[in-house]
Amino acid sequence: MGSDRRPITPSLVVSVLALVLAVAGGAYAAGAINGSKLKNRSVAGKKLKKNTVTGTEVKESKLGQVPSALNADHATNADAATNATQLGGKPDTAYMGSTVQKVESVIQAGTAFGTTRIIDQACPQGTILLSGGPANLSDDSIMVESFPTPGSTNSWRARVKPAGGNDPFSVVVLCAHR
């Protein structure tokens, strides 16, 4: 009976030997080559693991701007900002202060206006009129109207119909400091 085995040929021997050397050589190279055997500064950045480079290896002029710092250039003059004394484009003097002052006129009969009497009371310079109204009315006098003085932005007028004769009264205004 004959044998079904093929004879070993020189080409088979060479190909098996090449395969064994290739596998063994790669394994040897993987174990034998490490960072300690590399020459300093000989590996390109693309060949390095991520997050392994320190500040010494970085040329800062080659770095781009960090995305979260895109608006940092706008803050270079923050200490001397042109709009620092304004709010919404308006100067601070356009807003009222937090102090309110009560100002009252002298108690008097007022100026005759038909059968009624009127008194105007203004806020002091540098303040803003908030509100106003009559005060010190006798029980029988009638308050006819109370409103900002026509033609003025900082004064209040009260008109009263006295009960008899010249019943005196006063006008009180509330003024806010700027």
Could you report the per-residue pLDDT of 51-70, keeping only the tens digit for each? 777 777 777 777 777 777 76
Q: Do 161 and 142 form a contact (C-beta atoms < 8 A)?
A: yes
pLDDT band (50, 70, 90) for residue 168: very high
Q: Do 155 and 120 form a contact (C-beta atoms < 8 A)?
A: yes
pLDDT of residue 3: 66
- Block residue for tokens 């038909």: 114
